[in-house]
Amino acid sequence: MKNLKVKKIRDIFIKLKEEYPILILYIGGNFLNAIFLRLFTTGVFQLRSIFFDLAFILFLASFYFIVKKKRRNLYVWITTFLMVAICITNSLYYNYYSSFISVSLLATSVFVKDVGDAVMQMVVRLCDLTYLWMFGALFIFLKKHKEDHNINKKYFRKSLVIVLISLSIGCAMPPYNSFSRLYKLWNRVMVFNSWGPYVYQVDDLVQSLKPTFNNIFGYDNALKNVNDYYNDNKKELKANKYTGIYEGKNVIVIHAESLQRFTIGMELNGREVTPNINKLVKSGMYFNNFYAQVGVGTSSDTEFTYATGLLPSNNGTVFVNYYNNKYVTMQNLLNNKGYYVFSMHGNVGDFWNRETMHMNMGYDKFYSKSSFVIDEEYGLGLSDKSFFRQAVPMIKDIKDNIGQPFYGTLITLTNHTPWKEANTYSDFDTGMYIDVDGEVIRKKYLDDTLMGKYLKSVNYMDQAIGKFIDDMDDAGLLENTIIVIYGDHDARLGKHQFDYMYNYNPYTDSIRTLEHSEYIEFNDYDYELSKSVPFIIWSKDMKENMIIDTPMGMIDVMPTLGNMLGVYNKYSLGRDIMTTKKEDGIVVFKDGSFITDKIYYNAKKNESYTISNGILSDDYITKRSDYADKIIEVSNDIIVYNLIKELD
């Protein structure tokens, strides 16, 4: 009996192969591309996701039987193009962001022309183009095989039955919590692994359309969810010894592009990478366990999270997709206290929609590229040194003619990837010197690497910041002023760049292996932790140096710095780190992963990495994972459904 069923299935397949060879290629080729995509990205193969891939492709293939003959080839080309595009874009995107692309990013496609060099240098690999084989195969098959079948509704119905069977089998297989993750789409990698690339992309499309339907679906439930959260987690405004210590002072915030913490205090050939920032670290407040919490909006996500104490949006970026919503920000709170609030950036004003969003955030004026003399350009726009040099008289003019106090955000630019011109604007030496038989020989070491270019660029940005602070002092602008510096996100350097830097053997021009006595281990979790960025608060008259090592994320800046400036945002989901015990500190990332003083928990892999020894309770991870999920949900509901206007 079993043999008869197998024979029957085989006969059906042979018949389809003979009658519909193009369709067999269509199904098999796009299914194979989904396999390739897994192989080149996460490397995770869950059996259930195979059934979802098959169901999706068969669903599209079923319409082949009811499309008119003259339009079948066009249908095959269009749907194949869409599936190949899904594979290529996700393969490229994962290599850069370790996540998968969102349809909502189409709204930001206007920026591709500005960051194209960075994307091309950092992302494109030969394997990312593997999926194009399908076009060649399809072209050959369509020329070789001429199918002349009429509409076949019987095959169409049978195909849909197979689709339902495949979906049912996939849904019946574990993990069962994947249904919740599919609905929420917080962890894109987990949805991709569990549901396959095609279902993931459909899910993303649905999620991206949420703002359009938020008045019809989900609004009431989201409002209740957010109200319940704030009612259950009421934060009373408690004064501490840092409350109001900088109230009324001028504030200059330096948004330092791609500045990672590992460069702070680092030396190469006896020369500090960041000598000027090091001085601020040694004489100011230095938060040395600090992380950006960005999504696809990178720099703009950091600006939003810093200002509001909310996490970035799960779909797209707030600056582009939700710029019209109401938010409570550091900027508008200070504006209400009489501050003149401005921002400066050497790039065009519509990049990340800043021109519009900055006004919504409470800035009085945005000085963009058009406000500066473009006398020196590196990378995406005006060089940092020229930017800061021109900013000083502009700030002096604000002080003299508009008055104090003022709050200004200065967004740097030169340290943006891919640092192609680093050798032009930086003389920082990234070579290595060794003694060979009494003769000093210079090895190229990091010269031609992304890491080397990055270190040169960071050193350049540090010089620009140092000169800016000196010029501010000379202009009398450091009196009654605090300087805040934060790295906006990590530099997206690959793990292999760190492996090379730490384990290069100059005598053999090779990379040390585990067996070598001087080998420095740098595993996947060391790599994740290395993405920490600096956060510094400094003033000329600061009396003591402080190092705060409590785990801290960008959402904690609003309650921490805000308390020092005498402003309070009751909707912030962060914590005042100055009154948070080290063991209570937690940094939540938008995929549900988190960092505490004891562990790094990777939600994508459901794995934890021990940071410090100690006995953990059985529910240590569960409690914090639930907390992470909750604030991600609340934050996203506030953003998607524009709930601040309802809560205020």
Report the range of poorest mean pLDDT among 83-87, 144-148, 155-159, 467-471. 144-148
Residue 59 has pLDDT above 50, yes or no: yes
Q: State the helix-helix crossing angle for 354-361 and 298-308, rounded to 10 degrees.
A: 10
pLDDT of residue 186: 65
The string of pLDDT tens digits covering residues 110-153 is 554 444 444 444 456 788 889 999 999 999 988 887 767 788 88
pLDDT of residue 13: 58
Residue 9 has pLDDT above 80, yes or no: no
Residue 4 has pLDDT above 60, yes or no: no
Domain of 174? 2-208
Mean pLDDT computed over every residue of the chain = 90
Which of 208, 226, 251 lies at the terminal end of a domain, its last residue?
Answer: 208
- Strand, helix or coil at 475? coil
> Residue 636 sits in a domain of what CATH number?
3.40.720.10
| Residues 239 and 204 placed together within one structural domain of the fold | no
| Residues 254 and 396 placed together within one structural domain of the fold | yes
The string of pLDDT tens digits covering residues 149-167 is 788 888 899 889 999 999 9
Q: How confident is the model at residue 106 (pLDDT cuts 50, 70, 90)?
A: low
| Residues 141 and 259 placed together within one structural domain of the fold | no
| Residues 532 and 643 placed together within one structural domain of the fold | yes
Q: What is the pTM of this model?
A: 0.83
| Residues 32 and 108 placed together within one structural domain of the fold | yes
Q: Average pLDDT in the 63-83 region?
A: 92
Q: Average pLDDT in the 534-544 region?
A: 94
Residue 303 lies in a domain: yes
Distance CA 313, CA 296 (A): 9
Residue 86 lies in a domain: yes
Which of 208, 225, 259 lies at the terminal end of a domain, its last residue?
Answer: 208
Residue 323 lies in a domain: yes
Q: State the DSSP H helix or E strand holding residue 39, giving kind and residue range, or none if neither.
A: helix 21-40
pLDDT of residue 119: 47
Q: Average pLDDT in the 67-81 region?
A: 91
Q: Average pLDDT in the 13-18 region?
A: 64
Residue 555 has pLDDT above 60, yes or no: yes
More confident residue, 143 or 529: 529
Distance from the first to the final alpha carbon of the chain: 69
Residue 8 lies in a domain: yes
Q: State the helix-helix crossing angle for 69-97 and 133-144, rounded to 10 degrees.
A: 170
pLDDT of residue 114: 45
Distance CA 568, CA 585 (A): 20
pLDDT of residue 5: 47
Q: Average pLDDT in the 618-633 region?
A: 95
| Residues 241 and 355 placed together within one structural domain of the fold | yes
| Residues 261 and 153 placed together within one structural domain of the fold | no
The string of pLDDT tens digits covering residues 242-283 is 999 999 999 999 999 999 999 999 999 999 999 999 999 999
Sign of CA dihedral 610, 615, 621, 624: negative
Q: How confident is the model at residue 484 (pLDDT cuts 50, 70, 90)?
A: very high
More confident residue, 154 or 311: 311
Q: Average pLDDT in the 19-23 region?
A: 82
| Residues 242 and 196 placed together within one structural domain of the fold | no
Report the range of poorest mean pLDDT among 85-99, 510-524, 586-600. 85-99
pLDDT of residue 116: 44
20-30 burial string, b = 16+ CB within 10 Å, else e?
A: bebbbbbbebb
Residue 437 lies in a domain: no
Residue 448 lies in a domain: no
637 CB-near residues (< 8 Å, 6+ apart): 222, 223, 225, 226, 643
More confident residue, 185 or 79: 79
Q: Phi/psi of residue 475, each to 5°? A: -85, 5
pLDDT of residue 8: 53
Residue 204 has pLDDT above 90, yes or no: no
| Residues 71 and 180 placed together within one structural domain of the fold | yes
| Residues 38 and 117 placed together within one structural domain of the fold | yes
Six token digits for residue 605: 């892999």
Residue 120 lies in a domain: yes
The string of pLDDT tens digits covering residues 209-246 is 766 665 556 788 899 999 999 999 887 778 899 999 99
| Residues 293 and 178 placed together within one structural domain of the fold | no
| Residues 540 and 392 placed together within one structural domain of the fold | yes
pLDDT of residue 115: 45
pLDDT of residue 11: 57
Looking at residue 2, its amino acid is K
pLDDT of residue 210: 65
Q: Tell me the percentage of the chain whose pLDDT exceeds 90.
A: 71
Residue 7 has pLDDT above 60, yes or no: no
DSSP states of 344-388: EESS-TTGGGHHHHHHHHT-SEEE-GGGS----EETTEE-HHHHH
The domain total for the chain is 2
Round the CA-based radius of gyration of the chain to a whole number and report it: 28
Q: State the DSSP H helix or E strand holding residue 298, giving kind and residue range, or none if neither.
A: helix 298-308
Cβ proximity of 306 and 329 under 8 Å: no
Q: Average pLDDT in the 78-91 region?
A: 94
Residue 576 lies in a domain: yes
- Strand, helix or coil at 281? helix
